[in-house]
Amino acid sequence: VGTQSMTNDADLAYFGIISIGTPPQSFKVVFDTGSSNLWVPSIYCSSPACNNHDKFNPSLSSTYRQNGASLRIQYGTGSMIGFLGYDTVTVGGFAVQNQIFGLSTSEAPFMQYMRADGILGLAYPRLSASGATPVFDNMMKQGLVSQDLFSVYLSSNSNSGSVVTFGGIDPNHYSGSITWIPLSSELYWQITVDSVTVNGQVVACNGGCQAIVDTGTSLIVGPQSSISNINQVVGAYSQNGNDMVSCNNIGQMPDVTFHIQGQEFTLPSSAYIRQSYYGCHSGFGNGGSSLWILGDVFIRQYYSIFDRGQNRVGLARAA
Amino acid sequence: CLVQVPLEKGKTAREILEEQGLWEEYRLKYPYNPMVKFDNSFA
């Protein structure tokens, strides 16, 4: 049994379609650079979460092979339990042969309310539960990609535009030059941030800090004192455990700038404030750790390239 | 050798729960720390 912590982020919005098996069975998955396993619900799962999603039926696939090993993926609030199998996984136009993946037999209640059926992890294999080879590693091994990298563009537009590009960089999705940042750890997509400033003053990460670029986290997450500082500076206040701001003040809120590899990555207030049914929320969340997570709030502003060939992350202004 | 997978920006779990009036109940019942994904000590 292998375990891996995963997301149950209530604010995740982006998912794409993949298919598994022959003939193909389609699933909506979160492309998650903060984890490494692929899993989807199976017909052997009768949890409410599974019943609310598409389920994989191995007996309907002529290319399916059982692995036999169990899989347990821990969420913050529960876990997904299942087993491993192999099948052809089609991602975009690529047919990845003999891809190992998880078939859930039980899922945490919270998953019931997520639009995505499952998760497709894009971090390093060392992170993968049960030693399961990640999808992108098989893409590289099977010679499906011309470059050992993938890139993510997240649009604020709900209708269209967001895309994951495997094997290359799409110049239509960024402007200016790409800043390449070497990884500080080849487990996650972890980089060093030099500081965080508002109006030229350091408000967080003084002297440097570590951050994970994670498409599977919606917010920018950091240490409690740093996030408190930022939220105070932008005028957020705490209400029922949420960091709220007045929706009328968004235009007056300052930019927040991340300094990375000698470059400035600036977020205007329109990027870090999100509107919900209950009002306007700060996009900066407390993680309680010294580690930072640069989630979708950051990635929407900066086209992100994940280069496995050279173990580095590329960031450029999203266009 | 270059493939693009379009992503849909759909409703979030929070939005669905808020519409159903269940968000506060779920937030308290299943408190969430995003760091738990990277550090089990937060679980």
Q: Give B1-43 pLDDT, tens digit per residue.
A: 689 999 999 888 888 998 899 988 888 888 778 888 887 776 6
pLDDT at residue number A77: 61
Q: Does B14 touch chain A (CB under 8 A)?
A: yes
Active-site residue, selected from the candidate residues A32, A87, A117, A194: A32
What is the β-pairing status of strands A149-153 and A118-121? unpaired
ipTM: 0.92
Nearest by CB to A114, from B8, B13, B30: name it: B13
For the ranges A281-285, A312-316, B33-37, the lowest mean pLDDT is seen at: B33-37
The closest alpha carbon to A56, from A29, A35, A93, A94, belongs to A29
| CB neighbour class for A236 (10 Å; exposed up to 12, middle 13-18, buried from 19) | buried
Q: Does B21 touch chain A (CB under 8 A)?
A: no
B18–A5 C-beta distance less than 8 A: no
What does the alpha-carbon distance between residue A99 and residue A36 come to, in Å, rounded to a whole number? 13
- The H-or-E segment that residue A27 falls in is strand A25-32
pLDDT at residue number A193: 98
Tokens of A302: 């900066």
pLDDT at residue number B27: 82
Query: Is the bond leading into A24 cis (omega within 30 degrees of zero)?
Result: no
Q: Is A194 a catalytic residue?
A: no
pLDDT at A6 over 60: no
pLDDT at residue number A131: 87
For residues A202-228, give the mean pLDDT: 95
B7–A216 C-beta distance less than 8 A: no
For residues A229-240, give the mean pLDDT: 89
User: What residues are paired with A65 via a beta bridge?
Assistant: A86
Please write the tens of the pLDDT for every residue from A65-90.
Answer: 999 899 988 766 667 899 999 999 99
pLDDT at residue number A302: 98
CA closest to A188 among chain B residues: B38
Residues of chain A with C-beta less than 8 angstroms from the C-beta of B16: 113, 115
Whole-angstrom Cα Rg for chain A = 20
Q: Is A214 a catalytic residue?
A: yes
Nearest by CB to A219, from B4, B9, B34: name it: B34
